[in-house]
Amino acid sequence: MRFDVLTLFPEIFSGYLGQSLLSKAIERGKVDVQLHDLRRWAKGKHQKVDDRPFGGGPGMVLMVEPVVECVEAVQAEPPPGKLILLTPQGRRLDQRVVEELATHERLILLCGRYEGFDQRILDILQPAEISIGDFVLNGGEVAAMTVIDSVVRLIPGFLGDDESSIQDSFSSGNRWLECPQYTRPRVFRDWEVPEVLLSGDHEAIARWRREQSFLRTRERREDLLDDKPEV
Ligand code: 6GU
Protein backbone atom coordinates (compact mmCIF):
# COMPACT_ATOMS: atom_id res chain seq x y z
CA MET A 1 0.00 0.00 0.00
CA ARG A 2 1.23 3.43 -0.90
CA PHE A 3 0.98 6.66 1.09
CA ASP A 4 1.88 10.09 -0.26
CA VAL A 5 2.22 12.76 2.40
CA LEU A 6 2.06 16.43 1.39
CA THR A 7 3.49 18.62 4.12
CA LEU A 8 5.50 21.73 4.90
CA PHE A 9 7.50 19.68 7.42
CA PRO A 10 8.60 16.37 5.84
CA GLU A 11 11.40 16.02 8.40
CA ILE A 12 8.80 15.35 11.13
CA PHE A 13 8.24 11.88 9.59
CA SER A 14 11.80 10.52 9.57
CA GLY A 15 11.84 9.16 13.14
CA TYR A 16 8.42 7.61 12.73
CA LEU A 17 9.19 5.96 9.39
CA GLY A 18 12.47 4.58 10.76
CA GLN A 19 10.88 2.52 13.55
CA SER A 20 11.44 -1.20 13.14
CA LEU A 21 7.95 -2.49 12.31
CA LEU A 22 7.38 0.14 9.66
CA SER A 23 10.86 0.17 8.14
CA LYS A 24 10.69 -3.63 7.81
CA ALA A 25 7.36 -3.34 5.99
CA ILE A 26 8.86 -0.67 3.73
CA GLU A 27 11.89 -2.93 3.08
CA ARG A 28 9.63 -5.86 2.23
CA GLY A 29 7.67 -3.67 -0.18
CA LYS A 30 4.41 -3.92 1.77
CA VAL A 31 4.33 -0.18 2.49
CA ASP A 32 5.65 2.74 0.47
CA VAL A 33 5.62 6.25 1.94
CA GLN A 34 6.52 9.18 -0.31
CA LEU A 35 6.97 12.60 1.27
CA HIS A 36 6.27 15.73 -0.76
CA ASP A 37 7.45 19.12 0.46
CA LEU A 38 4.68 21.64 -0.28
CA ARG A 39 7.23 24.44 -0.19
CA ARG A 40 8.75 23.12 -3.41
CA TRP A 41 5.53 24.25 -5.11
CA ALA A 42 5.73 27.78 -3.72
CA LYS A 43 5.71 30.66 -6.19
CA GLY A 44 7.94 33.72 -6.31
CA LYS A 45 11.28 34.45 -4.77
CA HIS A 46 9.93 34.38 -1.21
CA GLN A 47 8.75 30.77 -1.53
CA LYS A 48 5.42 31.74 0.02
CA VAL A 49 2.93 28.97 0.79
CA ASP A 50 0.76 30.86 3.26
CA ASP A 51 -0.67 34.36 3.54
CA ARG A 52 -2.87 36.51 5.78
CA PRO A 53 -6.62 35.85 5.62
CA PHE A 54 -8.81 38.15 3.55
CA GLY A 55 -11.14 39.98 5.91
CA GLY A 56 -8.53 40.00 8.64
CA GLY A 57 -8.01 37.84 11.67
CA PRO A 58 -5.16 35.99 13.32
CA GLY A 59 -2.86 33.44 11.73
CA MET A 60 -1.99 32.46 8.23
CA VAL A 61 -3.91 30.52 5.57
CA LEU A 62 -2.40 27.95 3.22
CA MET A 63 -2.49 29.29 -0.34
CA VAL A 64 -4.55 27.63 -3.05
CA GLU A 65 -1.97 27.69 -5.83
CA PRO A 66 0.95 25.67 -4.39
CA VAL A 67 -1.34 23.17 -2.66
CA VAL A 68 -3.55 22.46 -5.70
CA GLU A 69 -0.56 22.20 -8.01
CA CYS A 70 1.30 19.85 -5.68
CA VAL A 71 -1.75 17.59 -5.26
CA GLU A 72 -2.35 17.52 -9.02
CA ALA A 73 1.27 16.59 -9.71
CA VAL A 74 1.15 13.77 -7.14
CA GLN A 75 -2.20 12.54 -8.47
CA ALA A 76 -0.90 12.51 -12.04
CA GLU A 77 1.21 9.51 -11.11
CA PRO A 78 -0.70 6.19 -11.11
CA PRO A 79 -2.38 4.44 -9.38
CA PRO A 80 -5.14 6.93 -8.53
CA GLY A 81 -5.21 7.61 -4.81
CA LYS A 82 -7.87 8.64 -2.34
CA LEU A 83 -7.17 12.23 -1.30
CA ILE A 84 -7.51 12.96 2.41
CA LEU A 85 -7.15 16.31 4.07
CA LEU A 86 -6.25 16.25 7.77
CA THR A 87 -8.27 18.86 9.60
CA PRO A 88 -10.13 19.21 12.91
CA GLN A 89 -13.22 19.93 10.75
CA GLY A 90 -13.10 16.42 9.29
CA ARG A 91 -14.92 13.17 9.96
CA ARG A 92 -13.68 11.66 13.20
CA LEU A 93 -11.29 8.75 12.70
CA ASP A 94 -12.31 5.45 14.27
CA GLN A 95 -11.58 1.80 13.49
CA ARG A 96 -14.43 1.62 10.96
CA VAL A 97 -12.96 4.54 9.04
CA VAL A 98 -9.50 2.94 9.32
CA GLU A 99 -10.88 -0.31 7.86
CA GLU A 100 -12.41 1.60 4.95
CA LEU A 101 -9.17 3.50 4.29
CA ALA A 102 -7.24 0.21 4.27
CA THR A 103 -9.22 -0.97 1.23
CA HIS A 104 -7.51 1.67 -0.93
CA GLU A 105 -4.34 0.91 -2.84
CA ARG A 106 -3.06 4.44 -2.30
CA LEU A 107 -3.82 7.29 0.11
CA ILE A 108 -2.71 10.87 -0.46
CA LEU A 109 -2.54 12.69 2.88
CA LEU A 110 -2.58 16.47 2.80
CA CYS A 111 -1.36 18.09 6.03
CA GLY A 112 -2.33 21.63 6.93
CA ARG A 113 -0.62 24.06 9.25
CA TYR A 114 -1.45 27.53 10.49
CA GLU A 115 -5.10 28.58 10.65
CA GLY A 116 -6.26 26.41 7.80
CA PHE A 117 -6.62 26.02 4.05
CA ASP A 118 -7.94 28.48 1.49
CA GLN A 119 -11.51 27.21 0.95
CA ARG A 120 -10.89 26.89 -2.79
CA ILE A 121 -8.45 24.05 -2.09
CA LEU A 122 -11.42 22.08 -0.77
CA ASP A 123 -13.78 23.29 -3.50
CA ILE A 124 -11.39 22.29 -6.29
CA LEU A 125 -9.91 19.06 -4.92
CA GLN A 126 -13.00 17.75 -3.05
CA PRO A 127 -10.92 15.72 -0.60
CA ALA A 128 -12.25 13.48 2.13
CA GLU A 129 -11.64 15.33 5.42
CA ILE A 130 -10.49 13.48 8.53
CA SER A 131 -9.92 14.57 12.12
CA ILE A 132 -8.34 12.38 14.79
CA GLY A 133 -10.41 13.81 17.63
CA ASP A 134 -12.01 16.85 19.19
CA PHE A 135 -8.87 18.78 20.03
CA VAL A 136 -6.59 21.02 18.02
CA LEU A 137 -3.10 20.07 16.82
CA ASN A 138 -0.54 22.48 15.44
CA GLY A 139 -0.78 20.74 12.10
CA GLY A 140 -1.95 17.63 10.27
CA GLU A 141 1.38 15.80 10.45
CA VAL A 142 0.77 13.91 13.70
CA ALA A 143 -2.73 13.09 12.44
CA ALA A 144 -1.29 11.78 9.14
CA MET A 145 1.07 9.53 11.10
CA THR A 146 -1.92 8.33 13.12
CA VAL A 147 -3.76 7.44 9.90
CA ILE A 148 -0.72 5.61 8.50
CA ASP A 149 -0.05 3.79 11.78
CA SER A 150 -3.61 2.54 12.15
CA VAL A 151 -4.05 1.59 8.47
CA VAL A 152 -0.78 -0.34 8.03
CA ARG A 153 -1.77 -2.73 10.85
CA LEU A 154 -4.52 -3.99 8.56
CA ILE A 155 -2.24 -4.75 5.60
CA PRO A 156 -2.07 -8.55 5.33
CA GLY A 157 1.30 -9.77 6.60
CA PHE A 158 2.26 -6.47 8.20
CA LEU A 159 2.09 -7.77 11.76
CA GLY A 160 3.64 -11.13 10.95
CA ASP A 161 1.91 -14.52 10.93
CA ASP A 162 1.11 -15.09 14.58
CA GLU A 163 -0.29 -11.67 15.42
CA SER A 164 -3.66 -10.55 14.22
CA SER A 165 -5.24 -7.14 14.02
CA ILE A 166 -8.65 -8.86 13.72
CA GLN A 167 -8.56 -9.28 17.50
CA ASP A 168 -7.85 -5.59 18.09
CA SER A 169 -10.40 -3.64 20.09
CA PHE A 170 -12.80 -1.65 17.90
CA SER A 171 -12.28 -3.86 14.83
CA SER A 172 -15.43 -5.21 13.14
CA GLY A 173 -15.17 -8.53 14.92
CA ASN A 174 -14.50 -7.10 18.37
CA ARG A 175 -16.02 -3.99 19.87
CA TRP A 176 -14.84 -4.65 23.42
CA LEU A 177 -11.70 -3.35 25.11
CA GLU A 178 -8.75 -5.67 25.59
CA CYS A 179 -8.48 -7.83 28.70
CA PRO A 180 -5.55 -7.42 31.16
CA GLN A 181 -2.33 -9.18 30.14
CA TYR A 182 0.54 -10.47 32.30
CA THR A 183 4.04 -11.79 31.76
CA ARG A 184 6.86 -12.93 34.03
CA PRO A 185 7.52 -12.74 36.91
CA ARG A 186 4.53 -14.50 38.53
CA VAL A 187 4.88 -12.34 41.63
CA PHE A 188 6.19 -8.78 41.94
CA ARG A 189 6.01 -7.01 45.35
CA ASP A 190 3.16 -9.29 46.45
CA TRP A 191 1.27 -8.57 43.24
CA GLU A 192 0.35 -11.92 41.74
CA VAL A 193 -0.72 -13.00 38.29
CA PRO A 194 -4.34 -14.27 38.31
CA GLU A 195 -4.30 -18.01 39.03
CA VAL A 196 -6.46 -18.96 36.05
CA LEU A 197 -3.79 -17.76 33.59
CA LEU A 198 -1.35 -20.29 35.07
CA SER A 199 -3.87 -23.12 35.11
CA GLY A 200 -3.29 -24.44 31.61
CA ASP A 201 -7.09 -24.71 31.24
CA HIS A 202 -7.55 -23.00 27.86
CA GLU A 203 -11.31 -22.89 28.09
CA ALA A 204 -11.23 -21.30 31.53
CA ILE A 205 -8.63 -18.80 30.33
CA ALA A 206 -10.74 -17.83 27.31
CA ARG A 207 -13.81 -17.44 29.55
CA TRP A 208 -11.87 -15.27 32.04
CA ARG A 209 -10.52 -13.06 29.25
CA ARG A 210 -13.95 -12.51 27.69
CA GLU A 211 -15.37 -11.67 31.09
CA GLN A 212 -12.54 -9.22 31.88
CA SER A 213 -13.00 -7.57 28.48
CA PHE A 214 -16.70 -7.18 29.15
CA LEU A 215 -16.23 -5.78 32.68
CA ARG A 216 -13.57 -3.36 31.55
CA THR A 217 -15.69 -2.17 28.62
CA ARG A 218 -18.75 -1.72 30.86
CA GLU A 219 -16.73 0.26 33.36
CA ARG A 220 -14.77 2.47 30.98
CA ARG A 221 -16.67 2.60 27.70
CA GLU A 222 -20.29 1.67 28.20
CA ASP A 223 -21.04 3.34 24.87
CA LEU A 224 -19.26 0.47 23.07
CA LEU A 225 -21.66 -2.13 24.49
CA ASP A 226 -24.63 -0.74 22.62
CA ASP A 227 -22.64 -0.07 19.46
CA LYS A 228 -24.70 -1.34 16.54
CA PRO A 229 -22.95 -3.90 14.38
CA GLU A 230 -21.98 -2.77 10.88
CA VAL A 231 -24.62 -3.19 8.16
CL1 6GU B 1 -6.36 16.12 11.42
N2 6GU B 1 -5.46 18.44 12.31
C3 6GU B 1 -5.31 19.38 13.26
N4 6GU B 1 -4.61 20.48 12.98
N5 6GU B 1 -5.84 19.27 14.46
C6 6GU B 1 -6.52 18.15 14.72
C7 6GU B 1 -6.71 17.13 13.78
C8 6GU B 1 -6.15 17.31 12.56
N9 6GU B 1 -7.44 16.16 14.34
C10 6GU B 1 -7.68 16.56 15.56
N11 6GU B 1 -7.16 17.76 15.80
Minimum-distance ligand 1 atom for the alpha carbon of 130 = 1
pLDDT over 90 at 175, yes or no: no
Mean pLDDT, the chain, whole residue set: 93
d(CA 83, CA 120): 15
Residues above pLDDT 90, as percent of the chain = 84
- Model pLDDT for residues 60-92, shown as the tens digit of each residue: 999 999 999 999 999 999 999 999 999 999 999
Say yes or no: CB of residue 133 within 6 Å of ligand 1: yes
Q: Is 37 helix (H, G, I), strand (E, B) or coil?
A: strand
Return the pLDDT at 134. 97
Best mutation site among 132, 135, 138, 142 for ligand 1 pocket (most ligand atoms within 8 Å of CB): 132
Question: Active site includes 168?
Answer: yes
Residues above pLDDT 70, as percent of the chain = 96
Minimum-distance ligand 1 atom for the alpha carbon of 143 = 1
d(CA 210, CA 25): 32
| Paired residues of 48 in beta bridges | 43
Say yes or no: CB of residue 62 within 6 Å of ligand 1: no
Q: E strands within the chain?
A: 2-7, 32-37, 50-51, 61-62, 82-92, 106-111, 116-117, 128-131, 187-188, 191-192
Catalytic residue among 10, 66, 88, 127: 88
Return the pLDDT at 169. 76
d(CA 174, CA 93): 17
Return the pLDDT at 113. 79
Q: How many residues does the chain have?
A: 231
Q: Is 75 helix (H, G, I), strand (E, B) or coil?
A: helix
Confidence of residue 161 (pLDDT cuts 50, 70, 90): low
Return the pLDDT at 84. 98
Catalytic residue among 4, 118, 141, 168: 168
Best mutation site among 7, 131, 146, 149 for ligand 1 pocket (most ligand atoms within 8 Å of CB): 131
Return the pLDDT at 190. 98
Q: Please answer whether residues 7 and 36 qualify as being in contact, where contact means their C-beta atoms are separated by less than 8 angstroms.
A: yes
Confidence of residue 16 (pLDDT cuts 50, 70, 90): very high
Return the pLDDT at 230. 56
pLDDT over 80 at 162, yes or no: no
- Model pLDDT for residues 94-134, shown as the tens digit of each residue: 999 999 999 999 999 999 876 799 999 999 999 999 999 99
Q: Is 17 helix (H, G, I), strand (E, B) or coil?
A: helix
Q: Is 30 helix (H, G, I), strand (E, B) or coil?
A: coil
Nearest to 90 by CA among 128, 125, 127, 131: 131
Return the pLDDT at 168. 78
Helix (H), strand (E) counts: the chain = 8, 10
Best mutation site among 137, 138, 147, 150 for ligand 1 pocket (most ligand atoms within 8 Å of CB): 137
What domains are defined for the chain?
2-152 (3.40.1280.10), 175-226 (1.10.1270.20)
Return the pLDDT at 215. 97
